[in-house]
Amino acid sequence: MVLEKRNILLNQRPDTKENVIKRIGAIFSAEGYTDDNYTQAMLEKETIFNTYMGNFVALPHGIEAAKKDIRKTGIVLMTVPEGQEWGAAEKPKVIIGVAAVGDEHLEILSKIALSFSDADGIDRLLGMSEDDISAIFEG
């Protein structure tokens, strides 16, 4: 499973962008998806390129050089209904951390784009359970 239910964090409170990324990185490391270096690679990516993708979605992930730090593909999904400061014009309400082996991130990004391509999709997601969200990524 790419998205384990225990890695879906619903209705979180806003925090600093750095703390959110560190929390996602800690989950990746604790769950065996990455080694500890991947968190720093995600923070470094944000200094190069803001991972806010529009439509209230941010996709933090590591720099290309960090591919070696990924053991298996996984994602962490966090909802922040009131919006998370991300250094962009809009505050993301859905933050999806991605750690992907090889090109597996392309399939993940495709599912995200298809599921959350408009504001209605984000609103639906904010009302879903962990089971419903998990089914989107496993379906």
| CA angle, 38 then 42 then 49, to 5° | 150
**Total count of residues recorded for the chain:** 139
Region of 35 on the Ramachandran plot (φ > 0 left; ψ -120 to 50 alpha; else beta): beta
- Taking Cα atoms as reference points, which of 129, 138, 114, 127 lies closest to residue 55? 114
Q: Which of 17, 23, 45, 61 is catalytic?
A: 61
State both tokens at 72: 């298996």
Is 61 designated active site? yes
Give the C-alpha separation, 96 to 58, whole Å: 6
Maximum separation of any 2 CA atoms in the chain, in Å = 37
- List, by residue number, the catalytic residues: 61
